[in-house]
Structure 1
Amino acid sequence: MVADKGKLEIDEDNLREINEFLLRKDNPLVDEVLKIIDKYGSVDEINRKAEEAGRIDNLMNRLEKKKSPFVKDLEWLKRKRDNEAFVSVEEFRRKVLGKKVSSMEFDDSFAVTLEISALNFFPWLIEEARKSIRNSEVMPARFIRVRSMKEQVEDDDILAFAAAMHIIGASYVQTLDTKGTLLGPDGKPINVHLSGPETITGYFGGVGNPNRYPLKWVDEFLHYYTEYGLRQVLNVNSG
């Protein structure tokens, strides 16, 4: 039995209501979002800034100007990648399965991604790379970071880590400092549903965050997007 595609149609009245909500003059949320965007330029300007900021050569240049000790580690990582020092998937399979690997078929549509959560300090990545090379282990390809963004800026970890992701071809996500688990002036999480029976609702769904915080998320994300080319962030929790 083929499902009725007609059921997927969005009612025009519903679309009209959404448009009216977004465009009405007394919508402070949309107005504030647009003001924040204007701080960083037009959409094209914002994307251009992010593209430039996230380029590996620009990231490395910024580290070199700061005389960062991370530069030598990144250069080492690049050499190892170029010299194919890391074990390939085929080599790793043979190491684990032995001779029988030749008679086996692998369905890459079921491929998995090895993720590290959390990796908060760049030097650990270099240690992981050394260990992967030494033991012929597969290098992770996805990293979650939950360290304070401001701290990462202060010690240039944010630049080094972004450059390393380019070098090894991995993806990563950062956690915003204005995240929903942030402690407020009273020492309690800003999300009213945390630390109570509704914790799962608040932690994973983000329900219960103060209304002003989506604006903080937009502002903080656009800052790091245009300054460092950061493309993925966590906002309602730390991973």
Structure 2
Amino acid sequence: MTDLKEMLKIEAKDLDIVNLLISNPDNAQVSALTDLIEKFGGVEAINEKAKQARNPETLMQKLKEMGSPYVADLEWLMEQRDNKAFISMEDYCKNILGEDADIASIDSSKAVTLEISAMQFFPWLIAQAKQAIEKKELMPGRIIRVRNMAEQVKDDGDIMATALAMQIIGATYVESLDTRGTDGGNIHLGGGPETLSGFFGGIGQPNDYAIKWAEEYLHYYTNYGIKEVLNINSGTILLGY
């Protein structure tokens, strides 16, 4: 009988080929990426800037300095968290299954993550939080954002308010960068069935867009501490790794 696990092993010679591809000075994409990283100050400086930008105190201070109307909402959200206003999983289960339910017997290995897709405007999150508290619903723990990034920055600090709110409620979230072909760069995003293949498959995406995507990511990573962004094709996935 064939040992399938042995067949799945990656041979050293195959890894050598990958290393040769990455380190090849003629590899334009990798060279452009390393140049871009140096442009932003190098790996350590980039991560330190992102750490400072993501700091809750830093985000709140910037929002206060710009007079953002979202400060009050964020302070309210922190109060709700500290006062344990959101329903616990145990109490939620009792509400669904009854007070006498054996909560310990629930198979948590099959747990799911509640996700909002997409949460475009910060006030929507506050509305969701108020509803969750009032109706004793679970607060989603995963947020997807597909709003124009530049627009978020201009909208009273929406981008920073969201980054801070995610840390307050302990949720994960992902942004969608503007460099995804919807700016006219992808010739297949004209509507109809080809739109789906063009958006998700990256068909028709210009070769230089992967580097543009990486540069936009580093901008928002270092300025707002945004860790997760959607990638759109093989090129951005490669550079993301």
Tell me the TM-score normalized by structure 2.
Answer: 0.88
Q: Is the 8 A contact 2:148 2:178 kept in 1?
A: yes
Alignment correspondent of 1:163: 164
Q: Is the 8 A contact 2:148 2:177 kept in 1?
A: yes
- Segment drifting more, 110-119 vs 194-203: 194-203
> Which one-letter code corresponds to 1:118 in the other structure?
A
CA distance in 2, matches of 1:137, 1:90: 12
- Is 1:216–2:208 an aligned residue pair? no
User: Over residues 60-100 of structure 1, what are the superposed CA-to-partner deviations in whole Å (9 max), with x where a residue is unaligned?
Assistant: 11111112111111000000110011111111111112234
TM-superposed CA distance for 1:28, in Å, is 1.6
Distance 1:66 1:202, change over 3 A: same
User: Over residues 167-197 of structure 1, what are the superposed CA-to-partner deviations in whole Å (9 max), with x where a residue is unaligned?
Assistant: 00001000000113x131xxxx615477466
CA distance in 1, matches of 2:38, 2:104: 56
TM-superposed CA distance for 1:4, in Å, is 4.7
Q: CA RMSD in A?
A: 2.2
Q: Is the 8 A contact 2:53 2:223 kept in 1?
A: yes
Distance 1:190 1:105, change over 3 A: same
Distance 1:54 1:93, change over 3 A: same
- Is 1:174–2:175 an aligned residue pair? yes
Alignment correspondent of 1:234: 230
Q: After the TM superposition, which residues 80-99 of structure 1 pair with which residues of structure 2 at under 5 Å, given as runs?
A: 80-99=80-99
Alignment correspondent of 2:8: 8
User: Over residues 104-125 of structure 1, what are the superposed CA-to-partner deviations in whole Å (9 max), with x where a residue is unaligned?
Assistant: 7111111111101000100111
Tell me the TM-score normalized by structure 1.
Answer: 0.89
Q: Is the 8 A contact 2:186 2:198 kept in 1?
A: no
Aligned residues: 232
**Percent of residue pairs identical:** 48
CA distance in 2, matches of 1:87, 1:49: 35
CA distance in 1, matches of 2:193, 2:95: 48
- Is 1:66–2:62 an aligned residue pair? no
Unaligned runs of 5+ in 1: none
CA distance in 2, matches of 1:153, 1:203: 24
- Segment drifting more, 202-211 vs 163-172: 202-211
> Which one-letter code corresponds to 1:53 in the other structure?
A
Distance 1:200 1:13, change over 3 A: farther
> Which one-letter code corresponds to 1:179 in the other structure?
R
Alignment correspondent of 1:47: 47
Alignment correspondent of 2:109: 109
Distance 1:235 1:4, change over 3 A: closer
Alignment correspondent of 2:125: 125
